[in-house]
């Protein structure tokens, strides 16, 4: 391999790595959506702060602010959990989120068994 070919190969690899960082999923900020539950539809707000592969934040709904736990980035997938008091019974939810566009986020929330909900959230401009 001559020197020009090596330089061109290096440049292509460098640009590919840099483009991957520029196009990485951005979950930071506030996301607002609705979720259909057995008790009816409710509005929820997710606020995320991503630092490397660590994610912190809150879920805000009818019960107020709930801290998310075990938040992490796994490639282009957001993963986190939260606990909620459902009429005196603690429920633990495991959640995954993926961007569905620049300003849309799909979050699947699983509370165990058949208790699965989907939230289609939009990025808040506030």
* Domain presence at residue 43: yes
C-beta atoms surrounding 37 within 10 Å = 14
CATH code for position 114: 2.40.128.20
> Considering its fold, how many domains does the chain have in total?
1
What would the mean pLDDT of 21-49 be, rounded to a whole number?
85
Higher pLDDT, 112 or 18: 112
Q: Evaluate whether residue 108 is within a structural domain.
A: yes
pTM: 0.77
Q: 13 vs 104, which has greater pLDDT?
A: 104
Q: What is the mean pLDDT of residues 14-20?
A: 40
CA distances from 78 to 5, 24, 54 (A): 39, 12, 10
Does residue 29 lie within any of the structural domains? Answer: yes
19 vs 85 pLDDT, higher one: 85
Please state, in angstroms and rounded to a whole number, the distance separating the CA atoms of residues 53 and 79: 10
Residue indicated by tokens 């849309």? 104
d(CA 67, CA 90): 14
What average pLDDT does the structure give for the chain? 83
**Residue 34 within a domain:** yes
Question: Which domain covers residue 64, as residue numbers?
Answer: 25-123
Q: Nearest Cα to 30, choosing from 40, 44, 18, 19?
A: 44
53, part of any domain = yes
3 lies in a domain? no
* CA–CA gap between residue 55 and residue 68 (Å, rounded): 9
pLDDT digits (tens, 9 = 90+) for 59-110: 999 889 999 999 999 989 999 999 988 788 888 999 999 999 879 999 999 9
- The answer as to whether 63 is a domain residue is yes
Q: Is the dihedral of CA 69, 112, 123, 41 positive or negative?
A: negative
Establish if 47 belongs to a structural domain. Answer: yes
């Amino acid at each position: 391999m001559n020197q020009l070919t090596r330089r061109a190969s290096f440049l292509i690899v460098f640009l590919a790595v840099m483009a991957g960082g520029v196009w990485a999923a951005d979950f930071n900020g506030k996301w607002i959506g609705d979720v259909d539950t057995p008790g009816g539809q409710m509005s929820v707000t997710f606020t995320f702060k991503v630092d490397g592969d660590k994610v912190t934040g809150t879920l805000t709904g009818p019960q107020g602010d709930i801290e998310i736990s075990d938040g992490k980035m796994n490639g282009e997938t957001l993963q986190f959990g939260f606990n909620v008091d459902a009429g005196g019974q603690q429920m633990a939810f495991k959640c995954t989120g993926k961007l569905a566009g620049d300003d849309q986020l799909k979050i699947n929330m699983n509370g165990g068994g058949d208790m699965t909900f989907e939230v289609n959230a939009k990025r808040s401009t506030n």
